[in-house]
């Protein structure tokens, strides 16, 4: 009887977790352009996921809806945040990375925050 009392909530919680896992998540798209066309040595991370070097300087990635961080290694095992990318459902957010500057700089097609002190935030 006691085992049953424990098992039923566990089974319910497991079912809920499985249901949540099955629910399709909303996705949007991030277009990353590099200027000039990136060399294979340029490495970027989007939400801690290492990106393949963009082909012909452009990559279009599907990304979960929300705010993703675009980062690049800054030396000493540290990461430098280049900008935040706001991803909205069925929308594309375009960001151009200028590799001519050190560290590389994000140029947003549409910017969310005007404050120059804040991390640049690109929106779709």
Residues that bind other proteins (CB under 8 A): 27-29, 31, 52, 54-56, 58-62, 90-92, 94, 109, 124
Please give the sequence-ordered ranges of beta strands (E in DSSP) within the chain, or none if there are none: 27-35, 45-46, 49-50, 58-64, 66-75, 78-87, 92-98, 105-108, 121-122
CB of 58 to other proteins, least distance (A): 7
CB of 17 to other proteins, least distance (A): 25
CB of 71 to other proteins, least distance (A): 17
* Minimum CB distance to other proteins smaller for 15 or for 110: 110
Distance CA 82, CA 11 (A): 44
* Minimum CB distance to other proteins smaller for 57 or for 73: 57
**In contact, 56 and 40? CB cutoff 8 Å:** no
**In contact, 64 and 27? CB cutoff 8 Å:** yes
* Minimum CB distance to other proteins smaller for 54 or for 104: 54
CB of 46 to other proteins, least distance (A): 9
Q: What are phi and psi of 17, to 5 degrees?
A: -65, -40
């Amino acid at each position: 009887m006691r085992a049953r009392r424990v098992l039923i909530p566990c089974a319910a919680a497991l079912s809920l977790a499985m249901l949540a896992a099955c629910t399709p998540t909303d996705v949007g798209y991030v277009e990353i352009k590099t200027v000039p066309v990136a060399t294979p040595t340029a490495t970027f991370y989007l939400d801690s996921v290492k990106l393949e070097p963009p082909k012909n300087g452009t990559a279009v990635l599907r990304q979960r809806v929300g705010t993703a961080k675009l980062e690049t290694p800054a030396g000493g095992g540290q990461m430098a945040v280049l900008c935040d990318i706001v991803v909205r459902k069925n929308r594309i957010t375009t960001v151009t990375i200028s590799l001519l500057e050190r560290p590389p700089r994000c140029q947003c097609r549409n910017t969310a925050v005007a404050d120059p002190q804040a991390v640049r935030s690109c929106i779709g």
